[in-house]
Amino acid sequence: MLTFDPQTYSSWKTEDIKNISIEFVSSGCEGTTIQIHKNTILTDYVFIENKENTISIHCSVKYKEILGNSYVTHSESKWIVKSEQILTRCGCWKSFELKSWDIRLDKIKILKSKLAKNKWNHN
C-alpha cells in the first residue's frame, strides 16, 4: 500500500486536495524522478490503494506495482520515493534508477552509479 509522510497528507487536507497523480519523469543523475500533480488525474492513469483513503491517488499502469508498496516523502522542493524496486539513487535522493528483471544488468548499473559518485568525490 502506498504511504505518504503524515505532514504531506495533513497539508493536502488543509489545501482540500482530492486527487493526486504521480508521474515518473526522465530526469536527474540516476535517470528518473517523480512529479506530483494536485487535483489532477492524468489520462490513462489508474487508482492506487493508499493509506489515506480520503485522497484518490493515481499513476500510470506501468508504475502501479512499484508505487503499491512505496513510501513517498517531501523534502524542500523534491519528492523522495522509498521502494524495494529502486536500484540506485543520486546523492540528494531525488532521482533514482529502477530495478530491471535482469540481475546482471542491475549489477552493471550499480557499479556504474558507484563509479560516477566516486569520480565526483575525488575532484
SS3 of 3-14: the string is EECHHHHHHHHH
Task: List the one residue out of 5, 3, 7, 42 whose CA is nearest residue 21.
Answer: 42
Given this model, what pLDDT does residue 15 score? 94
**Percent share of the chain, pLDDT over 70:** 93
Q: In 3D, which of 102, 74, 67, 98 has the Cα closest to residue 113?
A: 98
Report pLDDT for 43.
92
| Domains of the chain by start residue, with CATH | 3-122 (2.60.300.12)
The per-residue pLDDT for 105 is 79
Does the structure show a pLDDT above 90 at 60? yes
Please tell me the predicted confidence (pLDDT) of residue 120: 54
> What is the pLDDT, as a whole number, of residue 103?
82
pLDDT for 21-36, tens place per residue?
A: 999 999 887 788 999 9
Task: Please state which of the ranges 43-52, 59-68, 72-81, 82-91 shows the lowest mean pLDDT.
Answer: 82-91
Per-residue pLDDT, averaged over 58-80, amounts to 89
In the chain, the amino acid numbered 13 is K
